[in-house]
């Protein structure tokens, strides 16, 4: 099926990670022009080269989403390069390794600030400047924010990440209400356990921990980054999702629908 994403200009923040790169490749596969953004030039360029070698159109632009000036500049450079900004995927996010898993009275203040700066403020800044651009265009576009099941089902010892991701969900719903009559759709994706290097080290390196997690997931397996890529293309498509805004799509193998939590 033609999703009508060909030549759409798509910005993917956090494009250097496993989920971000899968999202970028999914859109490029549909013929979109993709801007992959993050803070590490070499990583971004490697992904862009993969997209181009597969026949896609992509550009790497560095950006620190925790800094509003950087976000504004990213939007400006995107429009200068491609003439528009049709789809924004706010995927950039940080959490912290096992050493940061602590109760609130021992939680690291610097980590809290970093998480809020990237995971919550970054969504706000990027959305603000993207919407300003989208409102000037004939085809208004849409925004897809990557939250987490932590925003739906609070996870132990992750108070900062949980708070930020819950904030992303309600911010997105508020934006959807505000922007609906201007033709801009806003939706949320909440991934569960997605298999990539970070989660492999965090959850799957230890067999006991991995077994507990698989037992908590009704499908008894992790998801793949490509599952998130496919979902973003679905939500961005006006062929399939033109009447969907303010939605929270949970992609977790049934985890949050189960009474068993990990």
pLDDT at 170: 99
Domain range spanning residue 132? 9-241
> CB neighbours of 127 closer than 8 A, spacing ≥ 6?
88, 90, 143, 145, 171, 175, 186
Q: What is the rounded CA–CA span in Å between residue 148 and residue 190? A: 4
Phi and psi angles of residue 11, each rounded to the nearest 5 degrees, phi first:
-105, 125
Judge whether 185 lies within some domain: yes
Strands 248-251 and 87-90, sheet pairing:
unpaired
**Has residue 54 been placed in a domain?**
yes
Nearest to 171 by CA among 133, 139, 137, 126: 126
Residue 92 lies in a domain: yes
Question: Does residue 259 lie within any of the structural domains?
Answer: no
Total length of the chain:
262
Close Cβ partners of 195 (under 8 Å, ≥ 6 residues apart): 204, 222, 223, 224, 225
Ranges of residues in the chain with a pLDDT under 70 are 198-205, 259-262
Per-residue tokens: 9 = 């200009």
Q: What are 211's two structure tokens?
A: 């077994």
152 neighbors 255 (Cβ within 8 angstroms) = no
**Considering only CA atoms, which of 25, 90, 19, 17 is closest in space to residue 57?**
25
Question: Is 144 domain-assigned?
Answer: yes
Q: What are phi and psi of 59, to 5 degrees?
A: -140, 140
Residue 255, domain member (yes or no):
no
Residue 228 lies in a domain: yes
> How many separate domains does the chain show?
1
φ, ψ dihedrals at 208, nearest 5°: -65, -45
CATH number at residue 148: 3.40.50.720
User: Exposed, middle or buried, 188 (CB in 10 Å: 0-12/13-18/19+)?
Assistant: buried
For residue 155, what is the DSSP state? P
Q: What's the start-to-end Cα distance of the chain, in Å?
A: 38
Which residue is it, tokens 């949970």?
250
Judge residue 6's burial from the number of C-beta atoms within 10 Å of its C-beta, 0-12 exposed, 13-18 middle, 19 or more buried.
exposed
CB 39 within 8 A of CB 66: no
Do the domain assignments include residue 217? Answer: yes
pTM beyond 0.75, yes or no: yes
Return d(Cα 157, Cα 111) in angstroms, integer.
13
């Amino acid at each position: 099926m033609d999703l009508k994403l060909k030549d759409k200009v798509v910005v993917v923040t956090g494009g250097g990670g496993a989920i971000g790169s899968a999202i970028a490749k999914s859109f490029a596969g549909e013929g979109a022009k993709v801007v992959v953004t993050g803070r590490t030039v070499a990583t971004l360029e490697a992904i862009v080269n993969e997209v181009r070698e597969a026949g896609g159109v992509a550009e790497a632009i560095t950006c620190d989403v925790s800094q509003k000036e950087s976000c504004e500049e990213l939007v400006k450079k995107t429009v200068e390069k491609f003439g528009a900004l049709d789809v924004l995927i706010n995927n950039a996010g940080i959490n912290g390794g096992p050493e940061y898993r602590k109760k609130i009275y021992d939680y690291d203040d610097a980590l809290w600030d970093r998480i809020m700066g990237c995971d919550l403020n970054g969504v706000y800044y990027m959305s603000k400047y993207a919407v300003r651009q989208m409102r000037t265009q004939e085809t208004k576009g849409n925004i897809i924010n990557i939250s987490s099941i932590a925003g739906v089902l609070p996870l132990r010892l992750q108070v900062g990440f949980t708070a930020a991701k819950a904030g992303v969900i309600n911010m997105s719903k508020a934006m959807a209400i505000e922007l609906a009559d201007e033709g801009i759709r806003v939706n949320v994706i909440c991934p569960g356990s997605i298999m990539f290097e970070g989660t492999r080290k965090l959850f799957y390196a230890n067999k006991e921990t991995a077994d507990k997690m698989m037992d908590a997931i009704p499908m008894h397996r992790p998801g793949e980054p490509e599952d998130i890529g496919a979902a973003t293309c679905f939500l961005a498509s006006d062929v399939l999702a033109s009447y969907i805004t303010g939605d929270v799509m949970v992609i977790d193998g049934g985890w949050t629908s189960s009474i068993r939590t990990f």
